[in-house]
Amino acid sequence: MRREVAEKLASLPPDERVLLRPLVDTSRGFYVMAGVFGAISLLGLVSYILQVRYGLGRTGLNRPGYWGIYIICFVFFIGISHAGTLISAILRVSKAEWRRSITRSAELITVLVIGFGAIQPVIDLGRPDRVLNVLLHAQWRSPLLWDVISIGLYFMSCTIYLYLPLLPDLAIIRDSGIKAPRFYRFLAAGYTDTPVQRHRLERAIGVLSIVVIPIAVSVHTVIGWIFAMTLRPMWHSTIFGPYFVMGAIYSGIAAILVAMAVLRRVYHLENYFKVVHFDYLGRLLLILSLLWFYFTFAEYLTAFYGGEPGEMRTFWAKLTGTFAIPFWAMVLGCFVIPLALMSRQATRTPVGTTIAGIAVVIGMWLERYNIVVPTSVNPRWEVESIGHYLPSWIELSIMAGTFSGFILLYMIATKIVPIVSIWEIKEGRAVVQEVADRVAKYSESYA
Amino acid sequence: MRPTRREFLWAMGATAASVGLRWSSDLVWAPQVPDDLGWAPGTEQFVNSACLICPARCGIRGRVVDDRLVRLGGNPFHPMNAGGLCPRGIAGVQMLYHPDRIASPLRRVGERGADSWEEIGWDEALGQLGERLQSLRATGRPEALALMAGYCAGSMHDLWRQFLRSYGSPHYVAEDYDDGTSAVMELMHGIARRPGFDLERAGFVLSFGSPLFESWWSPLQAFAAFAGPDGSDDGRTRFVQIDTRFSRTAAHANDWVGVRPGTFGVLALGIAYVLIRDELYDAGFVERHVSGFEDYTDREGERRQGYRSLVMRNYRTEEVSALTGVPVARITALARAFAQAEHSVAVFGHEVTHAPSGLLSGLAVHSLNVLMGNVGREGGVLFGNDPPLDPLPDPRIDAVARAGLERGSLARTPAPFGGGDPASRFAAAVGDSPSETIDTLLLYYANPLASSPRPDAWREALERIPFVVSFSPFLDETTAHADLILPDLLAFERWQDAPTPVSYPYPVWGVARPLVAPPPGGKHAGDAMLAVARQLGGSVAASLPYDNVELLLKARARGLFRARRGMTLGDAFELEHHRQMEERGWWLPEHTEFEAFWDELVQRGGWTDLFLDETDPARLARTPSGRVDLTPAPLLATLAAAGRGGALYMDVAETSAATTDEFPLRLLPYRVSTLSSGTVALERWLAETPGLFPEVHWDPWIEVAPATAEAQKLGDDTMVWVVAASGRYRARLKVFPGTAPENVCAPYGLRHPDGELANPLQLLDGSSDALTALPNWSTTFVRLEPA
Amino acid sequence: MTRWGMVIDLDRCTGCAACEVACKSENNIATVPPHQAEMGRVMSWMRVLAHTVGDFPDTHLEFYPRPCMHCDNPPCIKVCPVRATYIDPEGIVGQIYPRCIGCRYCANACPFTVKYFNWYGPEWSDSERQHLNPDVSPRTKGVIEKCSFCHHRLQRAREQARAENRDVREEDYQPACAEICPTRAIVFGDLDNPTHHVAELKEDPRAMRIMEDLGTQPKVYYLRARR
Amino acid sequence: MIAQRLRDTRGRVRPYLVLALGIALIAAVVLPVIALGSSRVPQPVAFNHLKHTQDLGLGCEFCHPYARTRAHSGLPDVTTCSMCHTSPQGTSAEAARVTELITAGDLLRFNKLFRMPDHVFYTHRRHVAIAELSCETCHGDIAHTERPPVRALVKVDMDFCLDCHRKQGATLDCNACHR
């Protein structure tokens, strides 16, 4: 850190001092990690170039295992993207005061991960050079097209929804002059935090946070429908829309927890990501793990009761057959571990919730695997032989590349914007009395 | 409006991206077929010819577009396959255009088998061969020339024989697919000829293990019969398959019966028992035309048991059931169905005779046909006749040749009623003789190193032969050991006649003619040998006075023109019309000029005569008594001399070694429909999906019962070693419920994708039927080990 | 209205696979190298599927030669985002290769799994290229392909009929599999034209369709084996 | 002016602008040149359509004999040319060269200029003989060219086909033409 920057930083109020520090102070560890993730991303890029050059044959996909890692990651990433927007929007709409420090990191996850989710189907295309055909020759009955539209809309609204609450903070950075003045002047777009501006901003955020919720719901519903609209066993199910939305929120919360734990540690944000935040999010996780179990149970029970031979082949393949290990690992990650850890106050600590969060993230990835692969390789017709799918190293490196690409971008983002919303924290302090009054109003007796 | 930097960059990026996408479209995604600036008029022709890939010799029709053969289908004029064709035939285009084809003659440079060759011209190559042959004759050793031929029928067979005889060599060795049926026919009917089975007109076909729908003499013949006339459901033949494994024929036949290996004969006699017990057999026929049915007194005045007593005493259904594993009710039902159908025929081949009591089992099975009187008549067993071709001129045999021929064959006939496997015996004999006893070996469509059950004997024999010439257009195992390769033209580039196999009871003389022009520098093996004969001059040249094979065929076809019977191929109506005319004693010539006749014959794809004179007594038996003999005396005498008792049919049950702990599973080799020895790599379409199993591609496999696989802890689709006392080979294990738990069913002639052979025949124990010298195919025991 | 369809008589089928190979030959279907085949990437628009039931000697076989079913209500065409697969007015479900983006959604939507994907581009040596059928375009890598009922033959038949000023007759248009079948188990024609053989056969009491209950209305009928 | 733009207000070179311009140059000039350059169709001799069709009054089908009967209309080869050009015709150097080439035994293989992608089912017979379209519809004014064009005169793409099919009321079904 240059001296004048350090001086400027030291002259700022305490919130700014802590929260803007990562923007100007970068450790060697950061560069090392960025280098590692950059290298892995590069590996993914090279793998993709190889895949384009030689064809999708370089993957482990086959007939009937037509879909694999890419589609799994697509569903998974888009699911994670519900982290942010949906959580922060719901919390904002419901005026949950504890949200103030966590919304920014969640929204950042959303915007960055959507991009990596949205490119997965393109990576999966046999002819990516014809990707524009989807727009030029659109076929409106295809859920894939609905998906393109709803993801496009979601991406745009989430970007705005990330940007608007950033404005006051950008203005703060611009005014502090600690970093790239022209850049932040451009980004802050003339915001000066006048009462009129503040009022308009809050109204816009309020409207957006309501608009974004149905869009977010539609995105994962449509992704569920991509599967549900086919006549394949264990896909053709009405539960898929809500099940996917619920799963998305679940994996989103888990992802936020993991991100928060990391940020808290590396940027020393213990005063912002407090134990209570982990506790509250842990409670949410607990509720969602039960909800997950409820949905999963309902899905499998109905399939089992119907007992159609085509369905049962896939059903047993998951429960006891080829896919038993990923299936029960999923149950462990999505249900057993979070339930065990989150149902007790003693384990709803930052460490406990992080462990549960990691378990859920892995579990939810496995859930996508257990949805995509077993049905794909188990044709409905028993005369047709059962396929097998083993991802190739090309697929695995592309997956690793997209994961590390996301992490890398997230790391870089923490160097550009404050990861905790400064103005909202300040606003939170300012409205304590107002909130107390509001809370008091809830319990007013009939006077 | 002035574009901002951002807009400018964005627009630039978008342009670059879209140009890039389109550009990559051509570069990265363009189809592999090059965009040809040239053009072709797209002329399309359909040409009739004959398939030379397997012994069935079906009629084919090729679609030729601009001198490229793009599709093969069946010739609808051909009475045997009537427009249908099997996958092997269809895939012939891949053989024709195979990238590994040898284009010109090759001479070995460097070590034998080291795969280093130099290309030479035909004149030089034939000159070298001619000189070698000339010098052998000059030194008075014409018998040092030998020919090893694969399946070879018709005029090419005659041409080779003529060449060798006039040259003076007795060594015409052929893989002649001997299945012992001609020995059965000779003993019972006095006719030394493989039987024809008139499946199409039969009402009920009882097949004893014959792979009718897979790899029989002519699967298309069976298909036509199975389909029935005109595709209508009336009068369709009913097929019942008796088999030791759930073969594809068993799977698609109307019904199937599983039996224990080696008990075909027992089951046949069990059926005979029911026929006799319930008086279902054709007593009139038996009385008029059969001897040995009742007890009789032989020439020495000894009282002997006839067929009836033998069967009634020894083959009661309960006992047969215990031996064969077929329930009594099933045997009875089979016998009744066999007896009730209008024409029923029992079909058998090497699956029955390649067993310790193979000949006796063959006799037992064929006795069913005799009991029902279904011999020498429509819908039964027929002894077809050959098309009335003009023979080749009598070979001129000069003194050198005579001396050579008199020195005789190296390998003696080892058994009283058959020659067994002459190729292996020849190889063994060469191995036992001093080096250079055979100086020059010609290989014609033979790859013994891969297909022989005794490749070691061949390897040793080849080492003792200084000069090996192969006519193979592909570099197979044996060809790789050759000194000179004279690549023959492929099936769709050459003239050759294609007589249908004997299993088809009506003579059809198909003519294969070039569908596409041969490659420059290609040469027909027949033409090459005619050229060598000319080069040798003298009696050899005089014996083969033809410029090329086309003219040879044309000359022989004059016999058909003069025969006053038969017709050039035609559609179903023409064929039937002609047959009925001949039945009524009419025959009208189609042509007055031979040239016109020949042109039409070639254009239609061949000649046939579907009329069969059932009244000719010689069609039934040419034994001294003129009757079909159920207890042939020569066989009885041989059995008695061998101490096997004086009664026939007594030891048809196999008495082979039982399983041991070391080798607990019985090996049952079989041939798959689409592939035969060593052709796997040639036709990729077939290799991709070779069998009944959708998951097996390219790899050779073995079939094992689920219980067996589980007991041995071997998983489905894993690679295993099949280990016998004499060796082992690698194959993919397929768990298959259609295999009996004590057996391992192994297709032979397959290769791994890398060319490694998987030939279960090489594991056989080497034992044979003492009467025919035919090898035993079901007496070898193996174990499986993970590979 | 013309509705092209197929009736396959399982009683006549001998499982010889002539239809499979004839189809590969007619439609320039690329073969894949052995290790690719092992992965399950073999393309075979027509495939004789077999399923063995019961232990020796009471074994029997359930089998179906399976082309594309050319459903009247095809699940594949609904999900294609670019209209690369569609049903034409005469009921043939077409696959338009230059339009296909290779997302394989149709392949997953098809309950009969008859869609094949070009994982790599086709590989032919110069000599093998000689036997390519000039009437059918070879596919590039990265697109879906499937049985087209040999509709290139219909194109030619239509033109010929037009030149002769008449309608397309039953014998003018036969796919390669129906043409080659040695036992005439595969019959092809217009299901709605009472003079065509298939129209009669589809009413046979033995007639059925695979997974009829899904309501996709396949136009390939099977006649149950009687044996 | 561009040079000005490339420098910012302080006169420093704007590197990203230079880069962008470079990309634009490649995109706009180099790639099309590569793409088009490879698609130039060479011919063995500089055939003069105008001379043959107008001055000599030969019909199209004289040299393109299958236009009414087959898929491909056919191109002339040495046998067609030899009808006249075995002896020197006219005064042009190219005509003299044709005679030379014929005498030397050259096959005179002309190359296709108007090419259909292989996934299109197109026959001349259907369009010329049955639908009675004139050659100019798709081939433009080729009959009046004096030198062989190196690129097709009319861009026959799917839009071109469909426009005409729409006007003529011909089929618009994909399967009718895609194969």
For chain A, the structural domain boundaries read: 25-428
Cα angle for residues D165, D168, D170 (degrees, 5° grid): 55
- The single residue listed with the structure tokens 């009491």 is C205
Using a 10 angstrom Cβ sphere, with 0-12 exposed, 13-18 middle and 19 or more buried, the burial of residue B282 is middle
Contacts within 8 Å (CB) and 24+ apart, A409-413: A409/A112, A410/A108, A410/A109, A410/A112, A410/A259, A411/A30, A411/A33, A411/A34, A411/A37, A412/A34, A413/A108, A413/A112
D72 vs B42: CB contact, 8 Å cut-off?
Answer: yes
- Per DSSP, helices labelled H in B59-202 are 87-90, 92-96, 122-138, 155-167, 181-189
Which chain A residues have a beta carbon less than 8 Å from that of B25? 129-130
Domain segments of chain D as ranges: 2-38, 49-75+113-177, 76-109
Domain segments of chain B as ranges: 44-96, 106-178+389-488+523-545, 196-382+620-641, 665-786
Which chain C residues have a beta carbon less than 8 Å from that of B707? 55
Asked if B319 contacts B262 with a C-beta cutoff of 8 angstroms, the reply is no
Second CATH level (architecture) for the domain A25-428: Up-down Bundle (1.20)
> pLDDT tens-digit profile of A164-209?
999 999 999 998 888 888 899 999 888 988 999 999 999 999 999 8
Q: What is the mean pLDDT of residues C139-166?
A: 93
- Pick from A339-343, B6-10, C160-164, D148-152: least confident: B6-10
B31 vs D118: CB contact, 8 Å cut-off?
Answer: yes
- Write out residues 168-197 of C within 8 Å (CB-CB) of D: none
Asked if B194 contacts B503 with a C-beta cutoff of 8 angstroms, the reply is yes
A62 vs C108: CB contact, 8 Å cut-off?
Answer: no
- Helices B525-536 and B549-562 cross at an angle (nearest 10°) of 100
- Write out residues 146-185 of C within 8 Å (CB-CB) of B: 176, 179-185
Q: Which of C60, C127, C137 sits opposite B98 (nearest CB)?
A: C127
Q: Which residues contact B28 (CB under 8 A, 6 or more apart)?
A: A52, A53, A129
Cα Rg for chain C, rounded, in angstroms?
18
Which chain A residues have a beta carbon less than 8 Å from that of C41? 57, 62-63
Structure letter (DSSP) for residue B418:
B
Nearest CA in chain C to A390: C39
Q: What residues are paired with B297 via a beta bridge?
A: B303
Residue C193's domain comprises 4-223
Asked if B402 contacts B168 with a C-beta cutoff of 8 angstroms, the reply is yes
Tokens of B768: 């044979």
Any chains having at least 3 CB pairs less than 8 A from chain B are A, C, D
A-C contacts (CB, under 8 Å): 141
Asked if B54 contacts B481 with a C-beta cutoff of 8 angstroms, the reply is no
Which of C155, C158, C164, C173 to substitute to test the interface with D, most D CBs within 10 Å? C155
CATH code, C168: 3.30.70.20
What is the Cα–Cα distance from B189 to B245, expressed in whole angstroms? 31
- Determine the pLDDT at residue B59: 94
What is the Cα–Cα distance from B192 to B730, expressed in whole angstroms? 40
Give Dmax (Cα) for chain D. Answer: 75
- Say if strands B727-735 and B719-724 run parallel, antiparallel, or are unpaired: antiparallel
How would you classify residue D133: left for phi > 0, otherwise alpha for psi between -120 and 50, otherwise beta?
A: beta
What's the CATH fold of domain B196-382+620-641?
Dimethylsulfoxide Reductase; domain 2 (3.40.228)
Secondary-structure class of domain B106-178+389-488+523-545 per CATH: alpha beta
Alpha carbon B450 to its chain centroid, in Å, reads: 16
Structure letter (DSSP) for residue A133:
H
- Say if strands B440-444 and B467-470 run parallel, antiparallel, or are unpaired: parallel
- Say if strands B757-758 and C186-190 run parallel, antiparallel, or are unpaired: unpaired
- Determine the pLDDT at residue B728: 92
> pLDDT tens-digit profile of D28-68?
666 555 555 556 788 888 899 998 998 888 999 999 999 99
> pLDDT tens-digit profile of A419-432?
999 998 888 888 88
Which chain D residues have a beta carbon less than 8 Å from that of C151? 175, 179
Structure letter (DSSP) for residue D126:
I
CA dihedral of residues A191, A195, A198, A199 (deg, nearest 10) = -140
What is the Cα–Cα distance from B757 to A275, expressed in whole angstroms? 70
Which of B689, B716, B750 to substitute to test the interface with C, most C CBs within 10 Å? B689
- Say if C87 is an interface residue toward chain A (CB within 8 Å): no
Q: Which of C86, C97, C155 sits opposite D119 (nearest CB)?
A: C97
Residue ranges for chain B with pLDDT beneath 50:
1, 31-33, 677-680
Cα Rg for chain A, rounded, in angstroms?
23
Backbone angles phi, psi at D172, to 5 degrees: -115, 10
Residue C166 identity: R
pLDDT over threshold 50, residue A266: yes
What is the Cα–Cα distance from B206 to B380, expressed in whole angstroms? 11
Chains C and B touch (3+ CB pairs under 8 A): yes
- Say if C32 is an interface residue toward chain B (CB within 8 Å): yes
Nearest CA in chain B to C201: B232
Backbone angles phi, psi at B188, to 5 degrees: -90, -35
C-D contacts (CB, under 8 Å): 45
Residue among C120, B714, B136 at smallest CA distance from A51:
C120
Confidence band (pLDDT; 50, 70, 90) for C157?
A: very high
Complex ipTM value: 0.90
Q: What is the pTM of this model?
A: 0.91
CA dihedral of residues B226, B228, B231, B232 (deg, nearest 10) = -120
C-alpha dist (Å) from residue B749 to B248, B428, B702: 17, 22, 12
D20 vs B9: CB contact, 8 Å cut-off?
Answer: yes
C-alpha dist (Å) from residue B157 to A434, B149, B438, B530: 110, 9, 21, 13
Q: Which of A127, A142, A380 sits opposite C111 (nearest CB)?
A: A380
**CATH 3.40.50.300 corresponds to the domain B665-786:** no
> Residue B193: how many CB atoms within 10 A of its CB?
15
What is the Cα–Cα distance from C158 to C167, expressed in whole angstroms? 8
Q: Which residues contact B595 (CB under 8 A, 6 or more apart)?
A: none
Tokens of C85: 């697969």
Determine if the peptide bond prior to C57 is cis (ω within 30°).
yes
Q: Helices H, strands E: what count in chain B?
A: 27, 32
Give Dmax (Cα) for chain C. Answer: 59
D118 vs C163: CB contact, 8 Å cut-off?
Answer: no
Q: Which of A129, A131, A385 sits opposite B29 (nearest CB)?
A: A129
CA dihedral of residues C88, C93, C99, C104 (deg, nearest 10) = 150
Cα-Cα end-to-end distance for chain B: 75
> Residue B743: how many CB atoms within 10 A of its CB?
22
Residue by residue, DSSP assigns C104-146 as -HHHHH-TT---EE-SS-----TTGGGG--TTSPPPPTT-EE-
Q: What percent of chain C has pLDDT over 90?
A: 78
| Overall domain count for chain C | 1
Secondary-structure class of domain B44-96 per CATH: mainly beta
Backbone angles phi, psi at D61, to 5 degrees: -75, -5
Backbone angles phi, psi at D175, to 5 degrees: -65, -15
Residue among B54, B167, B30 at smallest CA distance from B675:
B54
- Determine the pLDDT at residue A242: 94
pLDDT over threshold 80, residue A232: yes
Asked if B609 contacts B567 with a C-beta cutoff of 8 angstroms, the reply is yes
Q: What is the mean pLDDT of residues A83-93?
A: 81
> pLDDT tens-digit profile of D63-116?
999 999 988 888 888 888 888 888 888 888 888 888 988 888 888 888 888 888
C137 vs D119: CB contact, 8 Å cut-off?
Answer: yes
> Residue A428: how many CB atoms within 10 A of its CB?
16
- Determine the pLDDT at residue A90: 86
- Write out residues 184-203 of C within 8 Å (CB-CB) of B: 184-185
Asked if B20 contacts D23 with a C-beta cutoff of 8 angstroms, the reply is no
- Determine the pLDDT at residue C204: 92
